[in-house]
Structure 1
Amino acid sequence: MQQAKHPDYHPVVFRDRAAGYAFLTRSTATSEQTIEWDDGQTYPVVDVEISSKSHPFYTGRARTVDSEGRIARFERRYGGGQGTNGDQAV
């Protein structure tokens, strides 16, 4: 691996302001801001708007699609589920 072609890969703290959650990982992201972590070390901190702690899909607050209503609307428009030969679908 050629060292001059790859960015610096180092520990970084990502902080989700919406959820009040922060986690330490390795990344190429940089920041002028720093934070002292639980282990006593100081790391650069990157503020993010959304993470798995605040995203509606992961928190269970995601909207579900009304698939039954869509199927009923499709059947009303296009003939109520008849097959290609005119027989009723079972």
Structure 2
Amino acid sequence: MRQDIHPNYRPVVFKDISGELAFMTRSTAQTNETIEWEDGKEYPLVKLDVSSATHPFYTGKQTIMDATGKVERFRQRYGMGKK
């Protein structure tokens, strides 16, 4: 196998910045930030915008858009009824 062609596969901490969920796994993700983990060692940190702790599908706070009702209310409000 050729040397120095594969990315560095190492432990990385992924942290959901809005939900404070953090987990460590092995990854090749590149980052300049680090965090001190529970074992006292420093690991690379990748910040996530959304994870299973904050995604509406997993939290049960999902809202369903009523597009048809909104269109009808708009038409009634601005006098664009069906002709």
> Could you state the TM-score of these two structures normalised by the residue count of structure 1?
0.63
Measure the CA separation in 2 of the matches of 1:61 and 1:2: 49
Deviation at 1:5, TM superposition (A): 3.1
Instruction: Structure 1: state its 5+ residue gaps.
Output: 67-90
Moved more, 57-66 or 25-34: 57-66
Q: CA, structure 1 residues 62+3, in 2 after alignment: closer, same or farther (shift >3 Å)?
A: farther
What is residue 47 of structure 1 aligned with on the other side? 47
SS in 2 for 1:45: strand
Moved more, 55-64 or 40-49: 55-64
CA RMSD of aligned residues (A): 1.9
1:42-88 per-position Cα deviation (integer Å, ceiling 9, x unaligned): 0010111001111111111123588xxxxxxxxxxxxxxxxxxxxxx
Aligned ranges for residues 1-80 of structure 1 at < 5 Å?
2-63=2-63
SS in 2 for 1:4: coil
Measure the CA separation in 2 of the matches of 1:12 and 1:3: 23
Rg: which structure is higher?
A: 1
Q: CA, structure 1 residues 43+62, in 2 after alignment: closer, same or farther (shift >3 Å)?
A: same
- Larger RCO (CA within 8 A; separation ≥ 6): 2
